[in-house]
A and B are shown apart, each in its own frame.
Chain A
Amino acid sequence: MFLEVSGLTKHFGGVMAVEHINFNVNKGEIFALIGPNGAGKTTVFNLLTGMIPPDKGSAKFKDISLNGLMPYQIRHMGIARTFQNLQLFNSLSALENVMVGAYLSGRKGFIQSLLRLPGVAGEEEQVRKKSLEVIEELGLEKDINTPALALPFGKQRLLEIARVLSGSPELLFLDEPASGLNASETKQLANFLKRLKEKGLTLVLVEHDMDTVMNVADRILVLNFGTAIAEGTPEEIQRNGEVKKAYLGEEEQDEYIGCKWS
């Protein structure tokens, strides 16, 4: 199994943030986590990327346990993430941000860099080239020298995705990649996510924009108050009564797909 999550549990004081969640992600698919605010989606991301330790449960990536690993170690295994509240390196230029994302493709250490030993310049050039390619894919090539802080919000979101892609991850967690984007940017993003999937990347997505989710996701897991209430294809989820109840509080309501919940 590519990613196997079983019995994942996290309580904050008396609050059940995540309660015994199980799911599997197959290689090459787009898997979406949805649910009302406070359902525990970001907590699942934080647990799986080592930001916070789970109380119980386990996660395995390609049959290797992720329990107890630090965030950077999880990144070393090929798992990368973006953040709901952007975490860019604000004083670094857009290009530098993306080059930091390719940190793992570099091998040269502190002393080699200090003395600029043979190979350092070549490696730096390779990383720059790779980063420029990713930047071009996301259409940020005009902003490479702009500090991340000075970019408009939509471009900052794209920059975070560019940064994470330059490190060539195998499994990518995207935390609300469409939030703050306008309609056309959101559409572009959805297409871009599909292209990533075609390239063989596996995506796990937290997203509130239902159009995007229903458009790109292969399978969806719905969370409510920390527990999983439904899992299935977009069609299955759209027909699921439990899900409608969780979102709208009433079973009678029917036409909810296409709305945007914040």
Chain B
Amino acid sequence: MPRGNLMKYLFIAAAGIGFVVLPFVLKSNYLLSIFIVIGIYALVVQGLGIIMGYAGQVSFGQAAFFGIGAYAVAILTTHYHWGTIPALLAATVLPSLVAAVIGRPTLKLKEHYLALATLAFGLLVHIIFSEGGELTGGPSGLTGIPYLNIGGFVFNRDYKFYYLVWAVVVLVFLGVRNLDRSRIGRSLRAIRDSEVAAEANGINSAALKLKAFVFSAFLAGLGGGIYAYYVTFISPAPFSFNISIQFVLMAVIGGLGTICGPVLGVGLVVALGEALRWLVPLVIPHAGGEYQIIFFGLILVLAMIFKPEGLSTGWRKITDSEKAEETGLLETSANT
């Protein structure tokens, strides 16, 4: 087996084992909860990566779709006592339908009308969450969301949730990988590069971008539904416009148009946020949260200056050179 491939499989195996044993190694629930949040956000940002990295459209509404998924679960389980499967189904179908309604007129237009539409939509949805009266619980939100329960198996502990979330992340990752390597993924990238040429080659770009957008909302809703079950209490705050921007940052930092990018971007931004919460008070005593934001911004700016194409492209280059090495090996073995 070529060395590059062997290294790759070893790395994947090591990462897999690492993820499986992580809950046993981590003594603190706090760290485990961070990994769960990273997993949930990874779903949301994976969705954003499809519409931004593949279809080339910016969406500022991802936190709103995330919120619709979360509120769907919260409302349906607390007010109407729905079970887990139908509630999660609603959490994914509802944002998908909303995305179809927003995307249909805006994605027919060239340029970035989707960004404007989703920006307004994100603000609107946040207001609805805050002012929704009894249905949404207003600014204080909804409490008492039951545990996630699949066929009698209750996800009442963090480590159970950890496995559930990351199993879903892996499945979604594999799905996006399939898409990336298919006729559809290729066509989406083609639209991103030249919409005129994509259309001239028979691609109905408006329809395909709409599908990508609906899928991105589907993933955001899935993440939102799981999030509601995990925290068991939700308020409008985690679904504000600022969070949408954070999702966009995660997608960009991870690397647009790559399948590993979203997970990397989320991991980095969340880890950075948590690390700064510890580090900043050590450097500047009595520093408030604003200082963290400053450091955070600084690091992001540096990242964009020195690695504008995102983190995962470094990874891509490694695998490409491995490929070159492999073919080189093949050629030499053929010659001898």
* Interface residue from B181, B193, B205 paired with A90 (Cβ < 8 Å): B193
A17 within 8 A of B: no
Q: Is the CB of B200 within 8 A of A110?
A: no
Which of the candidate stretches A53-61, A116-124, A187-195, A209-217 sits at the interface with the other chain?
A116-124
Report the Cα distance A101→B198, complex, angstroms. 8
Q: Is the CB of A113 within 8 A of B201?
A: no
B184 within 8 A of A: yes
* A119 CB, min distance to chain B CBs, angstroms: 11
**A115 with B175, Cβ < 8 A, contacts A75-B202, A87-B200, A106-B183 known:** yes
Q: Is the CB of B196 within 8 A of A113?
A: no
Which residues from B are CB-within-8-Å of A28? none
Report the Cα distance A108→B182, complex, angstroms. 9
Which residues from B are CB-within-8-Å of A88? 193-194, 197
Report the Cα distance A167→B190, complex, angstroms. 15
Q: Is the CB of B194 within 8 A of A87?
A: yes
Report the Cα distance A120→B183, complex, angstroms. 9
* B198 CB, min distance to chain A CBs, angstroms: 7
* Interface residue from B176, B192, B199, B212 paired with A72 (Cβ < 8 Å): B199
Which of the candidate stretches A92-100, A135-143, A234-242 sits at the interface with the other chain?
A92-100
B277 within 8 A of A: no
Q: Is the CB of A71 within 8 A of B199?
A: yes
Which residues from B are CB-within-8-Å of A9? none
B89 within 8 A of A: no
**Best-buried of B183, B186, B205, B212 by chain A (most CB within 10 Å):** B183
B187 within 8 A of A: yes
* Interface residue from A49, A96, A113 paired with B178 (Cβ < 8 Å): A113
* A109 CB, min distance to chain B CBs, angstroms: 7
* Interface residue from B183, B197, B257 paired with A89 (Cβ < 8 Å): B197
Which residues from B are CB-within-8-Å of A64? none
**A70 with B189, Cβ < 8 A, contacts A110-B211, A120-B182 known:** no
The majority secondary structure among interface residues of chain B is helix
Number of A interface residues at 8 Å Cβ cutoff, please give it: 38
Which residues from A are CB-within-8-Å of B205? 72
B215 within 8 A of A: yes
Q: Is the CB of A104 within 8 A of B202?
A: yes
Indicate the size class of the contact surface on chain B.
20 to 34
**Interface positions of A from 31 to 78, Cβ below 8 Å from B:** 49, 51, 70-72, 75-76
* B220 CB, min distance to chain A CBs, angstroms: 16
* Interface residue from B178, B186, B200, B257 paired with A71 (Cβ < 8 Å): B200
Q: Is the CB of A100 within 8 A of B179?
A: no
Q: Is the CB of B190 within 8 A of A89?
A: yes
Which residues from B are CB-within-8-Å of A49? 200
* B275 CB, min distance to chain A CBs, angstroms: 33
Q: Is the CB of B199 within 8 A of A89?
A: no
Which residues from B are CB-within-8-Å of A116? 178, 182
Q: Is the CB of B189 within 8 A of A87?
A: no
B204 within 8 A of A: yes
**Interface positions of B from 208 to 261, Cβ below 8 Å from A:** 208, 211-212, 215, 257
Q: Is the CB of B196 within 8 A of A87?
A: yes
Which residues from A are CB-within-8-Å of B200? 49, 51, 71-72, 75, 80-81, 83, 87
Given contacts A72-B204, A89-B189, A113-B185, 20 further A-B contacts (CB under 8 A): A72-B203, A72-B205, A76-B202, A87-B200, A88-B193, A88-B197, A89-B190, A89-B197, A91-B193, A92-B186, A96-B186, A101-B201, A108-B182, A109-B184, A110-B215, A115-B178, A123-B183, A124-B181, A124-B182, A167-B201
Which residues on B are within 8 Å of A, measured CB to CB? 175-176, 178-179, 181-187, 189-190, 192-194, 196-205, 208, 211-212, 215, 257
